[in-house]
């Protein structure tokens, strides 16, 4: 026993010595980095820092399956070692990134009815890939509220949470950008000019490109019904953008951990984007998740060294993903075309079937940051970022990509405006500037609601009558007016926790800019497949399947069990009180 005790003590001494040496090395390395960037190491404090890593689109169910298959080894290790508690949580409706992040960062996601919606009185179409739209939403939801990232950093998010430093964050565009000083340019050059990091990054780009090409050829040979949207150069540029942005944000998080920044929030989008096109448990999606898991491991390993302060780590998702069949693929026409057939073929329709492309968002981020560099260097040097910004703008057609998918004139002339968010759609009837009740819709468009319910690709039709929200299916109605009253068969019978979902429906349906009608695509509980109103093979936004349930990993020492999470806004108060002092 004494021998074993001696060996255990010796092993512990060796580990302590190795940790000390590594700590000295890291301290020396990152001290040089932040000095070169003109950044400051913040004063030490006993208050723990907040570190949130968001994996976009990964459901609680699919995380468990990915861990089982070996595609999330570090997350599995954290869980099996008992270092974290893993729990599911309902994100609420709509289950989209903007609504969830608004709730987490500001505790307010009121009147964010989807990823896309329409403002009748202003005749404006809102899309959450527009920096102007996201900045406008942030100004509205943040009034009188302190963001959880006050004095901290936001990397690759929709909103900035009042962060002092933001990079690749839509809500901070046109307001505050990472490269607003020469130090930002120094950061990028420091990242790219590191020979080892550059070679490694290029290798990962080529490897992921090769894997993606093999997957596409394999799908083609099997005649899988998977869209092949990007080819050749476009595919390579998309993958290069994914890899480089993923590496840059990881590097930035590690620098801020060393600096002791009080709050850091970063989002990894790669899994979500790939899963939309191939499915949530497809090999391409799982490979994207494995790459994210490796970056989480790097950040977590660095955090554990406590070089400046301790950080509480939260790993979470903003929503899940449900396998889907595109509505147009299944039925030969878009949802908007079907609705136009019901109200009259002469009806003028405004509908967007654009696919959210992460490469376009990357290009928008890059253009904004290049313009920031241009305005902060000498005129002779400014020509380089100016020309690069022009190339990015021309290559990706960014002059027309401003989130306004339909012109103001076409929206004014439209009789029907259809705004799709995955398996949910908000339908606006341009009879007037106010929301229409079900009785008014029946008066103006007789038989429209019943015609929608008769379509095999539509599951629920949701509308209002006075203070009551009415949820209709082909076999019954649900009346939500403070009570849960069912006529016929319960429309929510096939979902998990019908009463919880009913609360979410009622809240969203009463948003000022929710559609006159809200539609949910067909849902098959046995196969967990929905009908998607966008061109996607897995989606989120509405009801049905794993899309409703995100995951949350919390370290065991954090007093979390006292908090009941029913939707994203519940997370805000806890983060605010623990890390911002109330």
Residues 441 and 373: beta-carbon distance below 8 Å: no
Residue 371 lies in a domain: no
- For the record, the structure tokens of 80 come out as 């099996």
Does the pTM surpass 0.75? The reply is yes
Which pLDDT does position 176 carry in this prediction?
A: 47
Which pLDDT does position 74 carry in this prediction?
A: 97
529, pLDDT greater than 70: yes
- Per-residue pLDDT, averaged over 499-504, amounts to 95
Residue 221 lies in a domain: yes
Which pLDDT does position 229 carry in this prediction?
A: 46
- Per-residue pLDDT, averaged over 226-250, amounts to 64
Specify whether 333 is located in the same domain as 456.
yes
Considering only 55-69, 361-375, 471-485, which range has the smallest mean pLDDT?
Answer: 361-375
Sorting pLDDT into bands at 50, 70 and 90, what band is 509? very high
Residue 139 lies in a domain: no
Specify whether 215 is located in the same domain as 315.
yes
Residue 30 lies in a domain: no
Which pLDDT does position 224 carry in this prediction?
A: 57
115, pLDDT greater than 70: yes
- Per-residue pLDDT, averaged over 200-211, amounts to 70
Specify whether 520 is located in the same domain as 552.
no
Q: How many domains does the chain have?
A: 2
Which pLDDT does position 425 carry in this prediction?
A: 97
182, pLDDT greater than 50: no
Specify whether 313 is located in the same domain as 346.
no
Of all residues in the chain, the percent with pLDDT exceeding 70 is 72
Specify whether 229 is located in the same domain as 171.
yes
Residue 364 lies in a domain: no
Which pLDDT does position 1 carry in this prediction?
A: 45
Residue 400 lies in a domain: no
Residue 23 lies in a domain: no
Considering only 67-71, 274-278, 297-301, which range has the smallest mean pLDDT?
Answer: 274-278
SS (H, E, C) 5-16: HHHHHHHHHHHH
Specify whether 61 is located in the same domain as 184.
yes
Sorting pLDDT into bands at 50, 70 and 90, what band is 15? very low
Which pLDDT does position 567 carry in this prediction?
A: 86
437, pLDDT greater than 60: yes
pLDDT tens-digit readout, 355-387 = 555 566 666 666 766 666 666 666 766 776 677
Specify whether 256 is located in the same domain as 344.
no
- Per-residue pLDDT, averaged over 203-213, amounts to 71
161, pLDDT greater than 50: yes
* Rg of the chain, C-alpha, whole Å: 25
464, pLDDT greater than 50: yes
Specify whether 430 is located in the same domain as 502.
yes
Which pLDDT does position 25 carry in this prediction?
A: 46
Whichever domain contains 65, its CATH number is 3.40.720
Higher pLDDT, 412 or 162: 162
**Highest-confidence range of 42-46, 137-141, 246-250, 404-408, by mean pLDDT?**
137-141
**Where do the H-state alpha helices sit in 56-149?**
60-69, 73-80, 97-106, 131-141
**Mean pLDDT of the residues in the chain:** 82
Beta bridge partners of 263: 50
Burial class (CB in 10 A: 0-12, 13-18, 19+), 177: buried
Which pLDDT does position 230 carry in this prediction?
A: 45
Specify whether 342 is located in the same domain as 458.
yes
**Cα 430 to Cα 120: distance, rounded to the nearest angstrom:** 7
- Per-residue pLDDT, averaged over 193-211, amounts to 67
Specify whether 457 is located in the same domain as 310.
no
**Cα 167 to Cα 188: distance, rounded to the nearest angstrom:** 11
- Per-residue pLDDT, averaged over 412-427, amounts to 90
Considering only 104-118, 172-186, 255-269, 279-293, which range has the smallest mean pLDDT?
Answer: 172-186
* Relative orientation angle of helices 283-303 and 73-80, to the nearest 10 degrees: 60
Higher pLDDT, 360 or 299: 299
Considering only 3-12, 237-246, 286-295, 306-315, which range has the smallest mean pLDDT?
Answer: 3-12
226, pLDDT greater than 60: no
Which range of residues forms the domain containing residue 219? Answer: 38-108+145-320+548-579
**Where do the H-state alpha helices sit in 397-497?**
408-413, 438-444, 448-454
Which pLDDT does position 294 carry in this prediction?
A: 94
Which pLDDT does position 432 carry in this prediction?
A: 86
Which pLDDT does position 246 carry in this prediction?
A: 86
Specify whether 48 is located in the same domain as 194.
yes
Specify whether 270 is located in the same domain as 340.
no
Which pLDDT does position 228 carry in this prediction?
A: 44
Which pLDDT does position 368 carry in this prediction?
A: 67
435, pLDDT greater than 60: yes
Residue 42 lies in a domain: yes
Which pLDDT does position 18 carry in this prediction?
A: 42
Extract long-range pairs of 563-566: CB within 8 Å, 24+ residues apart: 565/87, 565/89, 565/90, 566/89, 566/90, 566/92, 566/500
């Amino acid at each position: 026993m004494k021998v074993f005790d001696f060996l255990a003590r010796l092993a512990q001494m060796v580990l302590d010595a190795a940790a000390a040496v590594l700590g000295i090395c890291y301290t020396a390395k990152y001290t040089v980095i932040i000095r070169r960037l003109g950044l400051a190491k913040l004063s030490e404090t006993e208050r723990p820092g907040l570190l949130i890593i968001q994996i976009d689109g990964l459901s609680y169910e699919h995380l468990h399956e990915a861990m089982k298959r070996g595609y999330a080894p570090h997350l599995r290790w954290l869980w099996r070692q008992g270092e974290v508690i893993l729990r599911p949580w309902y994100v609420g409706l709509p289950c989209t990134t903007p609504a969830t992040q608004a709730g987490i960062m500001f505790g307010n996601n009121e009147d964010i009815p989807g990823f896309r919606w329409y403002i009748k009185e202003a005749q404006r179409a809102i899309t959450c890939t527009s920096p102007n739209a996201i900045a406008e939403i942030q100004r509205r939801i943040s009034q009188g509220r302190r963001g959880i990232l006050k004095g901290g950093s936001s990397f690759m998010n929709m909103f900035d949470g009042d962060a002092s430093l933001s990079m690749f964050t839509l809500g901070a565009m046109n307001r505050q950008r990472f490269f607003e000083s020469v130090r930002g340019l120094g950061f990028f050059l420091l990242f790219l000019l590191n020979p080892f990091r550059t070679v490694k990054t290029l290798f990962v780009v080529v490897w992921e490109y090769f894997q993606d090409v093999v997957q596409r050829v394999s799908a083609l040979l099997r005649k899988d019904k998977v869209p092949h949207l990007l080819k050749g150069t476009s595919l390579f540029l998309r993958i290069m953008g994914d890899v480089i942005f993923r590496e840059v944000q990881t590097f930035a998080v590690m620098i801020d951990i060393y600096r002791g920044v009080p709050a850091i929030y970063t989002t990894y989008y790669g899994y979500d984007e790939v899963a939309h096109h191939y499915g949530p448990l497809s090999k391409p999606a799982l490979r994207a998740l494995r790459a994210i898991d490796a970056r989480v491991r790097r950040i977590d390993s660095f955090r554990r060294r406590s070089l400046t302060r301790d950080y509480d780590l939260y790993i979470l998702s903003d929503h899940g993903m449900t396998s889907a069949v595109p509505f147009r693929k299944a039925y030969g026409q878009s949802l908007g075309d079907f609705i136009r057939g019901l109200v009259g073929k002469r009806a003028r329709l405004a509908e967007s079937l654009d696919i959210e492309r992460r490469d376009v968002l990357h290009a928008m981020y890059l253009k904004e940051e290049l313009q920031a560099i241009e305005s902060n260097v000498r005129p002779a040097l400014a020509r380089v970022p100016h020309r690069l910004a022009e190339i990015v703008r021309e290559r990706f057609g960014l002059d027309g990509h401003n989130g306004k998918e339909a012109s103001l004139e076409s929206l004014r002339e439209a009789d029907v405006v259809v705004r799709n968010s995955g398996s949910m759609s908000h339908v606006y009837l341009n009879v007037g500037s106010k929301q229409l009740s079900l009785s008014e819709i029946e008066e103006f468009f007789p038989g429209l609601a019943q015609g929608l319910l008769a379509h095999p690709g539509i599951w629920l039709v949701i509308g209002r009558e006075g203070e009551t929200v009415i949820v209709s299916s082909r076999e019954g109605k649900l009346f939500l007016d403070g009570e849960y009253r069912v006529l016929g068969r319960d429309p929510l019978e096939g979902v998990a926790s019908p009463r919880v979902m009913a609360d979410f429906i009622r809240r969203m349906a009463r948003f000022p800019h929710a559609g006159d009608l809200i539609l949910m695509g067909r849902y098959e509980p046995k196969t967990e497949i929905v009908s998607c109103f966008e061109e996607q093979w897995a989606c989120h936004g509405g009801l049905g399947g794993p899309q409703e349930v995100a995951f949350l990993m919390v370290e065991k020492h954090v007093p979390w069990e006292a908090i009941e999470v029913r939707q994203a806004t519940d997370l805000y108060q806890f983060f605010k009180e623990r890390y911002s002092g109330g």
